[in-house]
Amino acid sequence: MAVRKVLRYGEPSLREVSKDVHKVSKKITDLVRDLLDTMYSQNGVGLAAPQIGENVRVFVIDVSTGNEPLNPIVFINPKIIKKSGAIKSNEGCLSFPEAYTDVKRYKNVMVKATNEHGKPFVIEAKDGTLLARAIQHEYDHLDGILFIDHCMNRFEADAVLEKYNLPHIDPDLLIDEKELEEELAKND
């Protein structure tokens, strides 16, 4: 369909909670195609609707690499129904061009969602795979949460953001993740 402009960190709409999709209409399937076109054009792994200015609960992920065929997964109205374990992950985001930092994530997640054909499905991603981390990253976008809100070290993350002329972290938006921190401390 179309490659859309990806909103950069600092745009207020990236912090808004997205609305549920009530029907997988042509408008939603067009949005899904735009998300995929935009994600692939930027060599992304995932992209959420809020990142292109559409505050609805839709995101896409494709973790295929190299010569593997494209394997897009569409998530409409996703819900994380199970999560466990902890992993440190170095993440970036298309809304934060070139900026990467270490964040805390669950190692295992199970999600139920609807696909672009209106069919419900459940997917489980384990062992801190790219898919497990990407699901959490994109899911957060639907709630106005950004990957930097999970940062391991706020000051290191701020230095990275400053290097790329992006706004500093808002300390009030950092997520208290004692459970993940304790789990990670056990693994060190």
Domain ranges across the chain:
12-187
Instruction: Answer yes or no: CATH 3.20.20.140 is held by domain 12-187.
Output: no
pLDDT confidence band for 146 (50 / 70 / 90): very high
Q: Is 54 a residue of the active site?
A: no
- Given the residues 138, 162, 179, 181, the one annotated as active site: 138
pTM comes to 0.95
Task: Show Cβ contacts of residue 87 under 8 Å, excluding neighbours closer than 6 positions.
Answer: 104, 105, 106, 107, 128, 132, 133, 184
Sign of CA dihedral 180, 100, 4, 125: negative
Residue type, 1: M
Instruction: From residue 79, give the alpha-carbon distance in Å to each of 36, 50, 169.
Output: 21, 17, 26
Residue written as tokens 């994380």? 80
Reported as a single tens digit per residue, the pLDDT across 8-24 is 999 999 999 999 999 99
Which of 48, 161, 149 lies closest to 98, judged by CA? 161
Which of 90, 184, 44, 75 lies closest to 140, judged by CA? 75
Report the range of poorest mean pLDDT among 76-80, 125-129, 180-184.
180-184
